Structure 1
Amino acid sequence: MKMKLILAVVAGLAAGAIAAVSIIPQAREAILPSGGPRTSGKALIGGPFSLVDQNGTRVTEKDFRDRYMLVFFGFTSCPDICPAGLQLVAGALDKLGEKADRVVPVFITVDPERDTPAKLGEYVRNFDSRFVGLTGTPEEIAKAAKGYRVYYKKVPNADLPGDYSIDHTSI
């Protein structure tokens, strides 16, 4: 009986605190002296890049101004996660209808040794003609990946000497 009473009191106090913070600005300040979470208003992800698209044209982030970039890092030999992710992006574009004109889906390879512009073009067209595939030198890809906080690492295939896969962040 005592335990039920204690639980009821604790639950009541918690509900009261939540209500007070939601309704009374001074209560929020008392509980969260900083006034709550603050943001800089700037994205902490992304940044400048210079890469080559599926047509062999050098592009930078400036070429996508005034459009929302949906950036996906992956590689064309990826067996499952990359194709599944790109299918989701293509489906989202379809659901956006005309609003999708303001969005550019960008696929940046983390395997520049195998993913040539032509190979990227063929790959991204399988998902949606609006995709832009980007590649570059290993150094250029590393710089772009760092800007977008993407991890990737070549992993040798023990069963096939000379072959490899790539572990990578999927964002």
Structure 2
Amino acid sequence: MTTERRIIMLGTAATALLLVSGWLWLSRGPAGDPYAGCRQSVVSGGMDSFGTDFTLTNQDSQRVSYADVFTKPSLLYFGYTFCPDVCPMDSARNAEAADLLAGQGKDVQTVFITVDPKRDTPEALRDFTGLFSDSMIGLTGSEQEIADVNRGWRNYYRAQDADGDDYYLVDHMTNTFLILPGDTGTVEFFGRDIAPADMARRTACFVDAA
């Protein structure tokens, strides 16, 4: 083997090694992020900027904390029970995604936090969540508690109730957040145009990587 050919072969091997190393680094993401290969959303401040501790009231009138609620992978949605279309459709989609994951042996729960605490009593939440899943968790609280938890997930909402009409609507964002238990927290969010199967597939990636 000539010296020139040996140099070419060594150079090719070194290039291949660099490419493989680069792929491995990218697949792990910055600082060894185990979920980089699953994540598609990009947000200012990173996913660590979503979330906050809280104490709210669930659909059974029990006071529960963040740690009480997020004991397993969870799909979190902010909405309200009087919502005429978007919230029911998104809640049904989230419940279907959780059912698809259950069929794969993955235990993922759905959580619904109201943006309308004036009307969304625990009883109203229980009736609403029961339409979609026997295990969907509904959460309400005081106006300040709800404002604080929405702020924690950077979720905009505004009630159109200035004229005193009891049948007001509430403007709000429609993202669904994927939260993993423990110190991991929020790892992804999904827009409302995602299909149940795609949500289940992308969620499964995070669950498997955990």
Q: TM-score, normalised by structure 2?
A: 0.59
Partners of 1:131 and 1:55 in 2: CA distance: 12
Q: CA deviation at 1:93?
A: 1.2
Q: Is the 8 A contact 1:106 1:132 kept in 2?
A: yes
Correspondence 1:1-171 to 2 at 5 A: 23=19, 38=30, 43-97=48-102, 99-101=105-107, 103-156=108-161, 161-171=165-175
Sequence identity (%): 36
* Gapped regions of structure 1 (runs ≥ 5): 1-21, 27-36
- Name the CA distance, whole Å, in 1 between partners of 2:61 and 2:165: 31
Q: Answer whether contact 1:157 1:165 (CA < 8 A) is retained.
A: no
Deviations 1:89-118 (A, max 9, x none): 1111111125342x2211000000000001
Amino acid at match of 1:89: N
Shift in alpha-carbon separation, 1:57–1:66, aligned structure 2, 3 A: closer
Q: Which position in structure 2 is the counterpart of 1:10? A: none
CA distance in 2, matches of 1:56, 1:100: 28
Aligned to 2:3: none
Partner SS, residue 49 of structure 2 = coil
Residue 90 of structure 2 aligns to a residue in which SS? helix
Unaligned runs of 5+ in 2: 1-17, 23-28, 34-46, 176-210
Asked if 2 retains the 8 angstrom alpha-carbon contact of 1:89 and 1:105, the reply is yes
Is the CA contact (8 Å cut-off) linking 1:120 and 1:134 kept in structure 2? yes
- State the number of aligned residues: 140
Partner of 2:183: none
C-alpha distance 166-96 of structure 1, shift in aligned 2 (>3 A): same
Contact 1:94 1:100 in 2 (8 A): no
Alpha-carbon spacing, 1:92–1:143, altered in 2? closer, same or farther (3 Å): same
Structure-2 change in CA distance of 1:39 and 1:152 (3 Å): farther
